[in-house]
Amino acid sequence: MDIKEIKIKKAAFEDFGLELSRFSSRSDYFGLFYRADYSGRYSRFIFCREVWEIEQLVKVIEALTDFSWDPANAMYGNYFRPEQAKYYREQDQKRLDRQIVSSGKWQGDERDETRAVRK
């Protein structure tokens, strides 16, 4: 087998995550699991601990990321480094649909509250 024929799976930041699961509907705590999708087809879950307060979950996130918790850095189901979150917020402001809304030019033509096509 030639080395060029070997396919190497690359991992991305979405491949690792935290999952919360309530063991029963009557319990007041959640099980915290590490989730790893590195295998591609199957997920692997490793039990970490039980949590019953948000602060406990925040401490785990801070320990894994080595950043202090800032809710502004949690976007799209991911927790980003501060510079990454800043970059994505800037990119959001450059989206065409946001530019159209902020320009205010289209709002005079469509007077209904849904901003749908004028009838």
Q: Where in the chain are the domains?
A: 7-68, 70-113
According to DSSP, residue 108 is labeled T
Cα–Cα nearest to 35, from 21, 48, 23, 19: 19
54 secondary structure, DSSP code: H
Instruction: Report the C-alpha dihedral over residues 108, 112, 116, 119, rounded to 10 degrees.
Output: -90
Residue pLDDT, tens place only, 34-87: 887 766 666 688 888 889 998 998 999 899 888 889 998 888 788 888 888 899
* pLDDT tens by residue, 1-30: 555 665 655 656 566 788 888 887 888 889
Farthest CA pair distance, the chain:
67
Answer for the pair 85, 72: CB distance below 8 angstroms, yes or no. Answer: yes
Cα 36 from Cα 32, distance rounded (Å): 13
